[in-house]
Homo-oligomer: A and B are copies of this chain.
Amino acid sequence: MDKTIPTLAEAVAGIGDGAVVMIGGFGGSGAPIELIHALIDRFRATGHPAGLTVVNNNAGNGHIGLAALIEAGMVRKLICSFPRSADPVVFTRMYLAGQIELELVPQGTLAERIRAGGAGIPAFYTPTSFGTDLAKGKPVAEFEGRPYVQERWLKADFALVKAELGDVQGNLTYRAAGRNFNPLMCMAATVAIAQVSRLVHAGGIDPEKVITPGIFVQGVVEVADPAQEEALNRAGAIYA
Assuming A152-B143, A173-B208, A209-B209, is B122 touching A121 (CB within 8 A)?
A: no
Q: How far is the CA of A119 from the CA of B111 in the complex (A)?
A: 12
Asked if A103 lies at the interface with its beta carbon under 8 angstroms from chain B, I say no
Q: How far is the CA of A157 from the CA of B124 in the complex (A)?
A: 23
Flag if B123 contacts A112 (CB, 8 Å). no
Pick from B112, B116, B144, B152: contact of A122, CB under 8 Å: B144
- 6 pairs, A vs B, C-beta closer than 8 Å: A122-B125, A122-B144, A123-B124, A123-B125, A123-B143, A173-B208
Nearest CB to that of A209 among chain B residues? B209
**Looking at chain A, what size class is its interface with the partner chain?**
20 to 34
1/0 per residue A48-64: CB within 8 Å of B?
00000000000000000
Asked if A141 lies at the interface with its beta carbon under 8 angstroms from chain B, I say yes
* Residues of A149-193 whose CB lies within 8 A of B: 152, 173-174, 176
> Which A residues lie at the B interface, using CB under 8 A?
112, 116, 119-127, 141, 143-144, 146, 148, 152, 173-174, 176, 207-209
Of A125, A146, A173, A209, the most chain B CB neighbours within 10 A belong to A125
| Min CB–CB distance A10 → chain B (angstroms) | 30
Query: Which residues of chain B are near A116, meaning CB under 8 Å?
Result: 124
Pick from B120, B144, B148, B173: contact of A126, CB under 8 Å: B120
